[in-house]
Structure 1
Amino acid sequence: MPENASNTPDLTVVIPMCNAADTVGGLAQQILSLPNREVQIVAIDDASTDGSPDALRALGSDAISVIELESNHGAGYARNVGFAQATGRYTLFFDADDEIHVEALESAISELDSTGADLAMMPYSYRRGHSTEYTGMNSFDEVVWRSYMSGMSDRVAPLTEVPRLLGFSNYPWNKVLRTDRYQDAGLRFGEVHVHNDILGHWMSLLLARKLVLLDEQICTHIVGEGGANLSNRMGRERLALFDALDETYDMISGNPELRNRYSHHYWDFALRVTDWAISRISPEVVDEARYRLQAHLLRMSIVEFMRIRERRDPSLANRITSRALA
């Protein structure tokens, strides 16, 4: 029986999907196999053409609800629609084509119950296409994670003790959140088609009063091969990165306390993600991308820049200057 005494599910899993008929049914079955937990699955079909909703309805489970969008809006919009329907004590945002590790998911729920934390964060792995080879996290993520865990299997901390987690790759599926905390606080994802998870990642961490870090992989992220996957498209659509950054910086700069404490982490992240994008983006839009980066950097006030140069990270200030004047 679930630990909660009411009919409230222990967990809601929000799954945006677009043409995921081959994978989403198996994923849902894994989630529903979570032992001794009541689970709600909210799937948002983002205008699939392959019968993805039917793959879920064929399972015949009352725990699954499917919301069908009439046109394609992107995963961020879909997550926002799904989160509004979440009734579980905790929520996980998961992608329809990735592999979930249900043992880690159970551990996360138990840790959140025992610690009272608002968010459980865990590592992940990669698998490319149909390969059987698994790789670890991105190099920055791996270094930061190991520096904070130092051989521990779990750690409870406020964000002030682990702030470099803000610079983690902005994936939504390695975090389990306390639903009422984030619904009340207005958690949302960006609604651009590319990089819509940046805002959700930063809000998830900044809104957490206490975090629990759990050293168990919760997800294997499947990196699609070929050009159809959004992750592989590096044309004009990639410029949406700067819209995502603008929206995230709006959120941070609207709270002076957050801006004063964490803006250097934001700007370090912004430079790393834009360096990555500009090094790969199509040649015909490189100049526009560089212009958009300069415009974004110029949103920083002189006071904020001087705080970074004199008190936070002088080397970061030098990087900011070089990009702004390039």
Structure 2
Amino acid sequence: MSLSVVIPVYNDAEGLTRLLRQIEELALFDAVLVCDDASDPPCRPADLGFDDAAGRISYLRSEHRRGAGHARNMGLDAVTTDHVLFFDSDDIFLPPLVALCDALAQEPEAFDFCLFRHVDSRERAKGVPGPMPFDQQLWERCGPHMIAPRRLEPAEQVTLAEIAAYPWNKIYRTAFLRETGITCTEIPVHNDIELHWASFLLAERVLVSAALCCEHIVSEGGDRLTNQRSAARLEVFTALDALHAYLPRAPMADAFLVPMVRFYVRLFVWIEENLDLLHHAAFRRRAAAFLLRVHDRESMTLIANRDPLLARDIVYHIREGRL
């Protein structure tokens, strides 16, 4: 299995250095694409002490800051291997990734992507190394101890789509992303929603492993998505509009509709909790307009029949945004 890693980076020479050293030790990747989102100074691997005699490291750079979504798309365009893994510069790989890649190399059939578990640094600090509690509950429903990769059943695929929309917990078949046209949304934050959900919607063969293959590091302060409180969050509706455009192409569109809506209604609540108060009214207006735009009588009837409480929440958000 030939595998590339695409690393978006912005002003994180320290994290990138740590990650590139780890990549050297793992010896898993045929190609490393560092995608610099106009860092100042540039985060060029050669300047960080990496002598790439084997020619495995490529350095791509945007002249202007355009966000991690654009950086990942830039990297994807340059990938020449059969498979690709997107990874953030300030996260770290864990040893089980090696065994997972070895197992995937033995897979007799092509897979569109393989999903794996991760450790969230906030949970590790509590002594519970694993994902956040809601994600772990979803894993529990699909067999949390299955380390060897196996194929997801359709119902499990729908269930696990609701985990947090991360770009770095999946190994993708490059041709799957290119044939379906799946990309990241090029917005400042929430740019991985499209990649995550569209992958679940359109994939025909998904593998899964409960192996803990990386650690997502969330620090207090900084400019991570978790810490952003600005109006940039309002651009989430660009990603959600893009996501709804994939839905008619999904083989199991009816099965995915309610989980997908449940995801973004929860997201609306989370965004308000992490948004400066002065942006609340504008966010509520945008949420109401989005819900009215993407839900007709037919979809609302389906949602109300399957999840009446979710239908109530949709009505609530529409009313709040129109007050």
- Normalised TM-score (structure 1): 0.88
Deviations 1:235-272 (A, max 9, x none): 211111222222212222x4375532311111100101
C-alpha contact (below 8 Å) 1:148/1:162 kept by paired residues: no
Distance 1:323 1:230, change over 3 A: closer
Which one-letter code corresponds to 1:69 in the other structure? S
Q: Counterpart in 1 of 2:264? A: 270
Matched, 1:48 2:42: no
Give the letter for the 1:224 counterpart.
S
Moved more, 23-32 or 88-97: 23-32
SS of residue paired to 2:79: coil
Note if 1:14 corresponds to 2:12. Answer: no
CA contact (8 A) 2:45 2:59 kept: no
Query: What's the secondary structure of 2:161's corresponding residue?
Result: helix
Letter in 1 for 2:43: S
Counterparts of 2:16 and 2:268, CA distance in 1: 32
Pick the aligned partner of 1:120 from 98, 114, 119.
114
Is the Cα contact below 8 Å between 1:24 and 1:56 reproduced in 2?
A: no
| Structure 2 contact 157–206 (Cα < 8 Å) conserved | no
Deviation at 1:168, TM superposition (A): 1.1
1:250-261 matches, cutoff 5 A: 250-252=245-247, 254-255=248-249, 257-261=251-255
> SS of the counterpart of 2:80?
coil
2:273 to 274, 279, 282: 279
Matched, 1:95 2:88: yes
The answer to whether 1:319 aligns with 2:319 is no
The Cα of 1:105 is off from its aligned counterpart by: 4.4
Following superposition of structure 1 onto structure 2, how do residues 1-326 of structure 1 map, counting pairs within 5 Å? 10-35=2-27, 37=28, 39-54=30-45, 58-61=49-52, 62-111=55-104, 113-114=106-107, 116=109, 117-127=111-121, 135-149=129-143, 151-154=145-148, 155-252=150-247, 254-255=248-249, 257-298=251-292, 299-310=294-305, 312-326=306-320
Say if 2:189 and 2:232, in contact at 8 Å, map to a contact too: yes
> Cα deviation per residue 1:151-208 (whole Å; 9 max; x = unaligned)?
4334312444330212110101110011122222212000000100000101222232
Match of 1:7 in 2: none
Per-residue deviation at 1:211?
A: 1.3
- Structure 1's unaligned 5+ residue stretches are 5-9
> Aligned Cα RMSD in Å?
2.3
> 1:149 is paired with a residue of what secondary structure?
coil
Instruction: Label 1:264 to 1:325 Cα distance change in 2 as closer, same or farther (>3 A).
Output: same
1:184/1:282 CA distance change after superposition, 3 Å: same
How many pairs were matched up?
Answer: 314
CA distance in 2, matches of 1:11, 1:231: 29
CA contact (8 A) 1:27 1:96 kept: yes
The one-letter code matched in structure 2 to 1:285 is: H
Distance 1:161 1:133, change over 3 A: closer
What secondary structure sits across from 2:309 in the alignment? helix
2:21 and 2:129 mapped to 1: Cα distance?
A: 25
Query: SS at 1:264's partner residue?
Result: helix
SS in 2 for 1:15: strand
Alpha carbons 1:127, 1:134 under 8 Å: kept = no
Letter in 2 for 1:250: A
* Shift in Å, 1:110: 2.1
The TM-score, its normalising length taken from structure 2, stands at 0.89
Contact 1:76 1:197 in 2 (8 A): yes
Q: Secondary structure at the match of 2:182?
A: coil
Q: Distance in 2 between matches of 1:223 and 1:87?
A: 31
Distance, in Å, in 2 between the alignment partners of 1:228 and 1:55 is: 25
| Aligned amino acid, residue 66 of structure 1 | Y
